[in-house]
């Protein structure tokens, strides 16, 4: 009888030990998976990562045939044009472009700029010269876009063509099409 009892006890212990090993293995596997998923989420959690601007490449100087006029407002003291060839949407969420402003007396300013929809800010990267060269801007900082100035070119670009609810509104081609067709986002939003 002792032999039968000891065999029976051995048969119970073996599966129990096997079950304990399996349970321990599952616990370790689930813990490892949870830790791995935590790192995965941390790697892609944009809220915790500081925003970083991509490296800047200056475009070629604007050509008259690629300049698109856009409406700034009734109080504007200059005419404004954007070089369609220079418009780009960076992986950092910045829309970069060459802006040409012409005063009523004919003075022309050329700047390479960026608009960041997420913060509703603008930045002037460089100033263009008549010989086609660029000079880095001394005001190379992000500043808030002013909505109510006489020359509100940055607000017009951001609100009417580039940004929608603090996000980039569309791709480069759609932005160019809106400017060319004088079809601002504000009109598109009104059409349902």
The pLDDT tens digits of the residues spanning 91-142 come to 999 999 999 999 999 999 999 999 999 999 999 999 999 899 999 998 889 9
pTM passes above 0.75: no
- pLDDT score of 45: 57
Q: Please report the sign of the dihedral spanned by the C-alpha atoms of residue 53, residue 54, residue 59, residue 62.
A: negative
Give the single-character DSSP code of 86: G
State residue 113's pLDDT score.
97
| C-beta separation of 67 from 100 below 8 A | yes
Q: What is the average pLDDT across 42-46?
A: 55
Banded pLDDT at 42 (limits 50, 70, 90): low
pLDDT tens by residue, 133-160: 999 998 889 999 999 888 999 999 999 9
Q: Which two tokens stand for residue 182?
A: 């004088």
């Amino acid at each position: 009888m002792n032999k039968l009892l000891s065999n029976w006890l051995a048969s119970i212990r073996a599966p129990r030990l096997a079950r304990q090993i399996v349970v321990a293995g599952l616990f370790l596997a689930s813990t490892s998976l949870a830790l791995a998923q935590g790192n995965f989420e941390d790697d892609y959690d944009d809220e915790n990562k500081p925003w970083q601007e991509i490296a800047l490449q200056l475009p070629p100087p604007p050509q008259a045939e690629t300049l698109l006029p856009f409406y700034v407002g009734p109080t504007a003291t200059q005419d404004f044009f954007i070089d369609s060839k220079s418009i780009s949407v960076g992986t950092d969420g910045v829309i970069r472009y060459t802006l040409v402003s012409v005063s009523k007396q004919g003075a022309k300013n050329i700047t390479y700029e960026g608009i960041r929809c997420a913060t509703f800010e603008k930045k002037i990267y460089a100033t263009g010269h008549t010989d086609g060269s660029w000079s880095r801007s001394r005001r190379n900082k992000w500043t808030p876009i002013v909505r109510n100035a006489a020359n509100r070119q940055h607000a017009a670009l951001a609100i009417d063509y580039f940004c929608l609810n603090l996000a980039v509104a569309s791709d480069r081609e759609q932005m160019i099409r809106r400017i060319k067709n004088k079809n601002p986002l504000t009109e598109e939003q009104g059409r349902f």
